[in-house]
A and B are shown apart, each in its own frame.
Chain A
């Protein structure tokens, strides 16, 4: 009973904050709503006995990704008036598509495939089951290939972001540190006989 109450609290707040992400025009507020949404999603994972994923969600998404988002949003100067300009023009078409998708998703989820009868409740795991160990075992055996590919994707992301941002600009003055360190006194100072 208590669990059910918690489920409805987390799920309801997640939906409300997700709506907040899209509907607020202030980007900072959007990011804050997104953080709140992640917290609630983490709460749902806790209810499913998936503590590891729940904590990872908070640590990585809230702790790292969202802080980065916040930085980006604060550094970009967003013109809110300009953002709203095209809004009315695209609203009829966008609204129609959104409504159609909404009805379809309601119809699909309401058709009974995803009901508790269709997907039996797995119940709670035993106290001795350690989430981290179990995930580690699966990750390095059954899902090894996916794990390795994900590693290469991370490498590509790293290389890609460096390629796109690191470049020498001709109009900026740089300090050549190795030249500064290697400088000798006799190059700089001349003793002149008076």
Chain B
């Protein structure tokens, strides 16, 4: 038998991934040696991991495109920027967990699973290939299933995890089935090779390709909770521990959108007409479901779940536009959404009351009289989510709407505008509770410096980006290298 001879793959682009994987295992091991009252160190380590991974990603160089591991991994500006968003989302979610999770069983496993989920998202962001995409997706999904059901003794947490797990597995199966059709036509898992093969395929292959496209899109739409594949979102958001809800509302969405853009731009450009039609409908349904159903919610976590569905509908306008401006708009939207959503969840986690976190809308009544600072921050996030001018959320919507109009989807932009007006109603209703109603429930507020800093930083970011959005837009445009 001949000895195995092969060039050692270039591991430099994977240094952040390897670091996060090692730290994930390190947190798991360290937890064994920590006494109960010092388990929180695992959380600080997780935050440190996110920061160092961010520095590594920047250090390795964001400007150039490097392919590694026989084309199973790619590092380009697009993936690097997405990874920075993922680190930020994870770090903030860990900060929110520090106090929330301290009395639970298995604190070390919790932080370790968050790091592994982050690793899965990083792999997704760098996937040039369906094999890597699927493995990253499963790594992320498996961690989030466990994290959603982490509070084993809370019935709705277990129920949410089970629902999420069953529907998630179904979506993964559908995605795989779609991939198998694309593989059957092209004979490859590589996005670029599939793209080239589709260009040259005859009309006989069209139907098989269409079926593959539909299944792949349905599988990915589930992950970013685009209606009508959103059914799991409200239940999972409500049942999950609140920091995990915050985590799920940002980081997996960034990873899902990035990989969706990569699949569409690299593998399926030849099916542009078909997917634009599909996504136009899905975006409209998503905006309608998200913004109309949110009005009826009394639980703020459920309301924010529908709000996510609505926002994903808006974000899809950027994907539908399919231009540089559109894709940059998606990144801008996710960047600003990260701050708004994380900030809002931080306030919810801070309003702690023996097992129940400020979850009902009524709980927010009169917040301005008890804690004017939190009230102001929450007001800013909500106005920003509603898209009131000169806050971050306004520019997020502006960029994607303009991209859609320039790409010739005027009618979609008008529908989106109408729904964002509808959406403004339920956001501003919460502001009314906070400022104009009498206090109904007394709360103990969590006193945690890092969490208070999170609220302050995100609120300042929402205002600062609102007043001066150009740097963010420029950075996102520069981050499109490797895609267009």
A binding-site residues for B, Cβ under 8 Å: 104-105, 107-109, 111-114, 118-119, 133, 137, 140-146, 149-150, 152-153, 155-157, 159-160, 162-164, 166-168
Contact = CB atoms under 8 A, between A and B. Distances in A.
Say which size band chain B's interface belongs to.
Answer: 35 or more
Given A163-B106, A167-B152, A146 B208 contact: no
Contacts of A157: 142
Interface in B171-206: 181, 184-185, 187, 201, 204-206
Nearest to A151: B21
Contacts of A144: 9, 69-70
Nearest to B123: A149
10 contacts: A109-B208, A118-B204, A143-B72, A146-B135, A152-B119, A156-B143, A157-B142, A163-B109, A163-B110, A167-B105
Given A113-B184, A113-B208, A163 B135 contact: no
A160 B207 contact: no
A164 B146 contact: yes
Is chain B's binding surface mostly helix, strand, loop or mixed? helix
B132 A159 contact: no
Given A137-B4, A157-B142, A160-B145, A108 B132 contact: no
Contact of A162 (B4, B109, B143, B145): B109
A156 B142 contact: yes
B208 A141 contact: no
Contacts of A105: 211
B329 interface: no
B205 A111 contact: yes
Nearest to B18: A148
Interface in B201-260: 201, 204-208, 210-211
Interface of B: 1, 4, 6, 9, 14, 21, 25, 28, 69-70, 72-73, 105-106, 109-110, 112-113, 116, 119, 123, 131-132, 135-136, 138-139, 142-143, 145-146, 149-150, 152-153, 161, 181, 184-185, 187, 201, 204-208, 210-211
Contacts of B184: 113-114, 119
Of listed A104, A105, A107, A164, residue having the most chain B CB within 10 A = A164
Contacts of B136: 149
B4 A149 contact: no
A159 B109 contact: yes
Contacts of A150: 135
Decide if the interface of chain A is mainly helix, strand, loop or mixed.
Answer: helix
B207 A107 contact: yes
Can you list the 6 inter-chain pairs with the closest CB atoms, starting with the nearest?
A160-B146, A108-B208, A145-B69, A149-B135, A112-B204, A113-B205
A119 B152 CA distance: 50
Contacts of A156: 113, 116, 139, 142-143, 146
Contact of A108 (B28, B112, B149, B181): B181
Contact of A153 (B25, B106, B139, B204): B139
Given A156-B116, A159-B112, A163-B146, 20 more contacts: A105-B211, A109-B208, A113-B185, A119-B187, A137-B4, A141-B70, A143-B131, A145-B14, A145-B69, A146-B131, A146-B135, A149-B123, A149-B132, A159-B113, A160-B143, A162-B109, A163-B106, A167-B105, A167-B153, A168-B105
